[in-house]
Structure 1
């Protein structure tokens, strides 16, 4: 009879080993991204290790080891593996370029490796936080975390948001097309604000975020994308905003779950909107209930929560300590506490995000 215990152990060990290989891939991708190695291969490749070292201004021996590891892992192509280490050439194919290099595509996943690397660098601080009930604030993760998070959503907010998501809600699309004022709460580096402004030239967007580095980046990004005349950005805690009203649309993209006091922010968003204005929250598309073994999206969000979002939330006191996995019923409770009547899931299809309209009692 087959030893089921050994079989199960072997299968689980294989799963963990695969995870270790995946983690190593992520860290070597993050390293290659920081050094500009993928961009050099995409622009100048195929390249030998010596040629890559010159283009990227790194040591040749390190260039060779990184290239060989990337080829063995299937992350870059090697033209003639039997050539000597000095003459062997490496490059990126179209699929690799789309995932590792092209920042204009939603398939660009390299920023996620930067998020993982930044989280891993805080392992000691996370251990302390878990033991003491303290936290690890967003700023502690450093600029790589901020940029990785922003770049991960950049293409989505610049393309799908104005071209697919908002047009899927006809009444909102019409309002934006005719022209309205938009308040974008928790705007980060500004990509959601810029996406809306780019897609709807008759509308203006005011972004609000409490991170000064993000607000500074948002100003630069808006100028680079030609919408600086229709976007403004303020460095302020949205919960304290009391001088911004009359918006036809108030949004919060993937940030409510991070807020230590989401109810106060949602209440502010309600006051910012016109009486018939829209309040829209976009957050993670996680299952409605916890069932144990979950799908890849739920696994990803719990990973974020354990390493980043919950520790950041716990770094503020008092805090709701929501974590990344904010299920619909949790948001509904927050919204009702903030004075909304209910939430409505909007017909916007995406594998990772779910969009909600927060309904006022009049609806």
Structure 2
């Protein structure tokens, strides 16, 4: 038997205990969000547990235990018998439009746990788990996970990083948002560029229904949503085609690249937003890589394997592999135009 290194063992146990603390925080954070506890605490704090319970219409005993857990996790501040949110804590938990809001990540984690039996079975068969068969409202969770990044970077940074694209959008361009999901990215662009026409495509009918309802609630007239696959969606002569965090989920992204090239005008641009990743495993051994490899195992790879050829790029494919797939469709120029800690933005022409 190999002799144990006590120091290494203690370090590993400490890491695992920290992970377990985060894991068991998932339902508590989701309760806090669903019952507006973070929002209420931000508005009335510092407050006793009784005061927060009264303001939120909740049981004082449950509130005291929930707050204690939040303090132990570092998610809520406690001093002199009162609870509050620091500016940083509010930025993460109580401000929906904050670029650091991570509530959607907790929703996604919960959906991943619920999805375990299906993915576990797929480990044995090698088959996929279709997007429409994912457990819970995976679509809602993923949409919420990516929302802060899109709200804070898409119009402000990512589109301006594309060569000449903003000028076209201001003048009036024809745009397709492929793999649009619940349509948040499409709606943000349509709001920012009223002279342009936007069409969102997604192969999941439920997501298209949600996107359509969302667009109607905003009263937008310059966009519509259609069920369509990346390999054969309708429409031609687009000035800009976008794909947000979806290329790696596709069963045949090479066929998608080929179809997208044909659907673009000769001088059109394809903007591909993908999870941030290095080209090798060694480059991705960090908190972001850990998050994305786990999500990729439970969501992205199963989704791809359930489709066509099932190329299964995974959420950590890396820029080199992504560029190869993009070029396979007939694009001759691919560059990284922008980046955030969570995403890379590629421009293809």
**TM-score, normalised via structure 2 length:** 0.90
Q: How far did 1:54 drift?
A: 5.0
Asked if 1 retains the 8 angstrom alpha-carbon contact of 2:337 and 2:346, the reply is no
Q: 2:322 aligns to what SS in structure 1?
A: helix
Residue matched to 2:335: 345
Instruction: Give the 3-state SS of the residue equivalent to 1:281 in structure 2.
Output: strand
Deviates more, 1:53-62 or 1:124-133: 53-62
Alignment correspondent of 1:281: 272
Q: CA deviation at 1:53?
A: 4.3
Residue 175 of structure 1, CA deviation:
1.8
**Aligned CA distance change for structure 1 residues 311 and 7 (closer, same or farther; 3 Å):** same
Q: 2:327·2:334 contact (CA, 8 Å) conserved in 1?
A: no
Match of 2:75 in 1: 75
1:225-261 deviations in whole A, cap 9, x for unaligned? Answer: 45x11111112223232x3011100111110100112
Q: Distance in 2 between matches of 1:37 and 1:276?
A: 50
Q: Is 1:186 the counterpart of 2:176 in the alignment? A: no
Shift of 1:277: 0.9
Matched, 1:63 2:63: yes
Asked if the contact 1:134–1:315 (Cα under 8 Å) also holds between the matched residues in 2, the reply is yes
Which of these residues, 134, 143, 168, is aligned with residue 141 of structure 1? 134
Q: In structure 1, what is the equivalent of residue 231 of structure 2?
A: 239
2:239 is equivalent to residue 248 of structure 1: yes
Aligned to 1:111: 104
Residues 24, 223 of structure 1: CA spacing in aligned structure 2 closer, same or farther, 3 A cutoff? same
User: CA 1:341–1:218 in structure 2 vs 1: closer, same or farther (change >3 Å)?
Assistant: closer
- Conserved in 2, the CA contact under 8 Å of 1:332 and 1:342? no
Residue 50 of structure 1 deviates from its aligned partner by: 4.6
Q: What residue is the counterpart of 2:305 in the other structure?
A: 314
Q: 1:221 to 1:317 in 2, by over 3 A?
A: same
- Counterpart in the other structure of 2:198: 205
* Structure 2 unaligned spans of 5+: none
Find the partner of 1:156 among 144, 149, 157.
149
TM-score (norm 1): 0.87
1:327-347 Cα deviation digits (max 9, x unpaired): 223223323332x14441233
Quick one: structure 1 residues 109 and 130, their matched pair in 2 at CA, closer, same or farther if it must change by over 3 Å? same
SS in 2 for 1:347: strand
1:72–1:186 Cα change, 3 Å = same
Structure 1 spans left out of the alignment, 5+ residues: 82-88
Deviates more, 1:251-260 or 1:149-158: 149-158
Secondary structure of 2:273's counterpart equals: strand
> d(CA) in 2 for partners of 1:35 and 1:264?
44
**Alpha-carbon distance between aligned partners in 2 of 1:52 and 1:207, rounded to the nearest angstrom:** 42
Q: Deviations over 1:101-146 (max 9, x none)?
A: 2111111111101101110122222221212223333334345422
Matches of 1:48 and 1:139, distance apart in 2: 44
Q: Are residue 272 (structure 1) and residue 257 (structure 2) matched?
A: no
Q: Find the counterpart in structure 2 of residue 86 from structure 1.
A: none
Q: CA RMSD in A?
A: 2.4
1:48-79, CA deviations, whole angstroms, 9 ceiling, x for partnerless residues?
44554455454443222212211222211335
- Distance in 1, matches of 2:110 and 2:333, equals 36
